[in-house]
Amino acid sequence: MKKTVIRTEKGFLSPSPLSQAVKAGGFIFISGQVPVDSKTRQVVSEDFAVQTRFVLDSLKGIVEAAGASLAQIVKTTVFLTDMSRFEEMNQIYREYFPEEPPARTCIGVKELPRKSQIEIEAVALG
């Protein structure tokens, strides 16, 4: 089985030892995306909605770089540092997945890298 590493400027380029995404076995496995600017290494905004859109735009850029689209995402995992933001996240999430959204798990966590409020990982058909 062939493994292809996906790397694009359209998603967070982490200095950590990980790939943005790996395409293998008909799937695209996208690492957790945080709302951090790759150049400054800073969170893009303290505003939750801005962070959420940044993360979803990163997922979109990565999945498209792998030759797929958001519609081909079959599973996401959302990590929130404040579960009271769940409905706000859902409203924004619906903009990106208006029909037949992927399976999803949402987990409340104590903290995320660089004091991010949200992180999303995904698996897509590829």
Domain range for 7 is 3-125
Q: Compute the average pLDDT of residues 58-69.
A: 97
Which tokens belong to 87?
């409905």
User: Is the per-residue pLDDT at 15 higher than 90?
Assistant: no
Residue 110 confidence (pLDDT)? 98
Which candidate in 49, 50, 71, 106 is catalytic?
106
CATH number at residue 75: 3.30.1330.40
How many Å apart are CA 55 and CA 77, to the nearest integer? 12
- Any catalytic annotation for residue 106? yes
Number of domains in the chain: 1
User: Is the per-residue pLDDT at 34 higher than 90?
Assistant: yes
Q: What is the pLDDT of residues 66-98, one digit of tens each?
A: 999 999 999 999 999 999 999 999 999 999 999
User: Is the per-residue pLDDT at 12 higher than 90?
Assistant: no
Task: Please give the share of the chain, as a percent, with pLDDT higher than 90.
Answer: 93
Contact 62, 21 (CB under 8 A): yes
